[in-house]
Amino acid sequence: MTINLKENERLDELQRNGYQIIQNPKKFCFGMDAVLLSGFAKAGKGDKVLDMGTGTGIIPILMEAKTEAAHLTGLEIQEESADMARRSVELNRLQDKIIIVQGDIKEAGTLFGAASFDVVTCNPPYMIGQHGIKNPEEPKAIARHEILCTLEDVIAQAAKVLKPGGNFYMVHRPFRLAEIMVMLREYRLEPKRMQMVHPFVDREPNMVLIEANRGGRPRMTVERPLIIYREPGVYMPEIYEIYGY
């Protein structure tokens, strides 16, 4: 299938099922954190999945390739990103499996209804506030800073749209881990699994992957750390596997 690219857009290969994704590097491109989350998250046969703040749709597209989920929905507030995501879904002929909805994370419960999904994923903005941001309306600023939604917005809405026993998956920064754990429990999302991500074996972690269960019992597994690079420019075998190389 051919698809018309708009100004500054490009097609990137995803190394999964021959899938491609439309991106605009002048706006925002997906990062490793989204790919790692798609590998960490689990969805069983027949599951309905919601990705909140889907950007250009990278997580639903990768999870369609990696899981047996029945249907995936991407929720994205920015019109340009949602448009690219929709066209990527069409390009990969996934219209029967993935739908992109333009809307606000803060209204997810209203948009989809309570207890609508078995799995919710989110790669949210990591940074608090707007200090030093020259243009808060810039797509990169919205993706990285809590301009349009906060950590509490994400967790509260995930809890609302998840079915009892459903799982929430998120990637975030370790410096906010205490706040994340407190907030998850406040909304009855019990932390069940955690994995720290380190750029190199001798460096401190710069990402954390978290799984929480709606209404689950207290008990959390801390998985062995995920190391990104064996040496500069050379990934560890696990990373090549996650990327599909």
Which CA distances in Å does 148 have to 35, 75, 124, 139, 242?
23, 13, 10, 11, 30
What is the domain range of residue 95? 29-243
Q: What is the pLDDT of residues 73-106, one digit of tens each?
A: 999 999 999 999 999 999 999 999 999 999 999 9
Q: Is residue 51 part of a domain?
A: yes
- Which domain CATH number covers 172? 3.40.50.150
**Whole-model pTM?**
0.92
Q: 141, 165, 161, 145: which is closest to 214 by C-alpha?
A: 165
Number of domains in the chain: 1
Amino acid at 98: I
Q: Is residue 34 part of a domain?
A: yes
Q: Is residue 10 part of a domain?
A: no
Question: What is the full per-residue pLDDT of the chain (245 aa) written as tens digits?
Answer: 667 799 999 999 998 889 999 999 988 889 999 999 999 999 999 999 999 999 999 999 999 999 999 999 999 999 999 999 999 999 999 999 999 999 999 999 999 999 999 999 999 876 676 545 545 556 555 556 555 678 999 999 999 999 999 999 999 999 999 999 999 999 999 999 999 999 999 999 999 999 999 999 999 999 999 999 999 989 999 998 888 76
Q: Is residue 13 part of a domain?
A: no
| Cβ atoms within 10 Å of 97's Cβ, excluding its own | 16
What is residue 86's DSSP assignment? H
Q: Is residue 17 part of a domain?
A: no
